[in-house]
Structure 1
Amino acid sequence: MTFDVVGTLIDFEAGILGCVRALAADGPTDQEILEAFAAAEHVAQRTTPELPFPAMLDPIGRRLADELHVPALDGALRRSIPDWPAFPDVADTLRRWRPHYRLVALTNADQAAVEAWGPALGHPFDDVVTVDQVGVNKPDPRMFRVALNRLADHGIEQDEVLHVAQSQYHDIAAAMELGLRTCWVERRRGQEGTGATPPAAVTRPDLHVGSLAELDALLDDGRAAG
């Protein structure tokens, strides 16, 4: 199983809002903050696609500082990364999966961020593929190909891989174009808009759940049937 990390396992929207609210308790609404972040990230993805997501937070933070009139945001988002929480279903679920699957992080974050989140995630990964290793961000297919090549080194073929991700923009469509099986974890199910993730056309994945716990139940049913 390969995993997007930011947004799927780590609640980056809670991290962003916590950072902004610590600097400006009053002002824009949560939705306005998240939508402004999404728009700024979309610009960063187009202009500096080689930067890891944590490095993108610096130009994103400068844009938000101007747009939201919170000057102290310049640099604050990147410094807040270690405080971003994991979703509450993540650590226990990944621990349950470790005996059954090879777990690989496939993330636009860098190695330092993944290490910072390790305690909250429970240090679950057998391998980690990051932008500072590959030199590009998802949705660039090279990120996925590096992960697939490493899995092949362990005798795992592409048709045995499930890519698990929250972002239609970064992950689901790109993985499907490569022929990967996908699970869309719609963390914002029932909420308006796409939050801090840039909007994208919604493609139909192989599986569609609202949480890792829901996916765990599906996989349990499959193992029981097997």
Structure 2
Amino acid sequence: MSATLPTPKYISFDIYGTLIDFQMGKTVERLIGDRLDADRLGAFKDRFGANRWDEILEYRPYNEILERAWRRTCAQFGLEVGDGDVDAITTDILEWPAHDDVPEALARMAEHFPLVALSNADDSHLAASIPKLGAPFHAVYSAEQAGAYKPRLRAFEYMLDQLQVDPSEILHISSHQTYDHIPMFELGFTNKVLLDRGYEPDIPWYGAVRMTSLDEVNRALGIA
């Protein structure tokens, strides 16, 4: 039997990883892949992700978050930071494409529901990325606007305040449980989808319904 989802007033999205293909691993490989063996390269990627997580708990512009996390990780692995490393990372982010399955399905969804972005990014990143998604957005909210990154509750509260809605009126779709669904559970968001792109394990306790494509979400919403 196919899953069904409650009809929301708004559908909100995480952007990077969920709708935009998160290609940080490729960037890291290009910058330092020739200086680490495969095992240490994998460990570097994991630590870089952990350091980004740690850095976002205090608000700074996202490019500064990236630079601090990159420098920390290089120091932890005994690597020198190249002169162009940080610029390469920030430039690559602006060039990442949408996942192949996104534009058509998202455009169909936008015909039925107003779409909202809630992203751990600056306005400049979203200005480059949102047009690649192939659908109109009712609102685009950034960490820069909120003054906080997810998983800070303040980021989600900012979206609720801007939309003037209760958590029960939103369907939130994300590929990241730790950044999105766990804090949202604490705020009373009951309508959540884990769009599983392989980043994190499914943790059913937090109430997100696991789906593997936006087409599946559309079917669960009754969109042909």
TM-score using structure 1 length: 0.79
Distance 1:54 1:93 in 2: 31
Distance in structure 2 (CA, Å) of the matches to 1:32 and 1:131 = 27
Q: TM-score, normalised by structure 2?
A: 0.80
1:166 alignment counterpart: 175
Partner Cα separation in structure 2 for residue 90 and residue 209 of structure 1: 14
Maintained 8 Å contact 2:110/2:135 = no
Bigger mean CA offset, 200-209 vs 171-180 = 200-209
**For 2:43 and 2:194, how far apart are their aligned partners in 1?**
25
Residues 176, 205 of structure 1: 8 Å contact kept:
yes
- Counterpart CA distance in 1 for 2:211 and 2:61 is 27
Are residues 5 and 54 of structure 1, via their aligned partners in 2, closer, same or farther at CA, if it must alter by over 3 Å?
A: farther
Offset of residue 151 of structure 1: 2.2
Cα deviation for residue 36 of structure 1 reads: 2.1
Q: Distance in 2 between matches of 1:33 and 1:83?
A: 23
CA RMSD of aligned residues (A): 2.6
Task: Compute the displacement of 1:91 (Å).
Answer: 1.5
**Where do residues 1-226 of structure 1 align in structure 2 (5 Å cutoff)?**
1-12=11-22, 14=23, 16-26=24-34, 27-29=36-38, 31-46=42-57, 49-66=58-75, 67=77, 69=79, 71-72=81-82, 73-122=85-134, 124-152=136-164, 157-180=166-189, 181-188=191-198, 194=200, 203-220=205-222, 223=223
Number of aligned residues: 207
Contact 1:5 1:106 in 2 (8 A): yes
Off by >4 Å, runs of 4+ in structure 1: 199-202
Change (3 A) 1:214 1:78: same
**Aligned counterparts of 2:17 and 2:56: Cα–Cα separation in 1:** 16
Deviations 1:62-121 (A, max 9, x none): 123332736323443222211222211112221111111110101111110001113321
Distance 1:52 1:123, change over 3 A: farther
Structure 1: any 5+ residue segments left out of the alignment? none
Task: State the alpha-carbon separation in 2 of the partners of residues 123 and 95 from structure 1.
Answer: 5
CA displacement at 1:127 relative to structure 2: 0.3
> How far did residue 201 of structure 1 move?
7.0
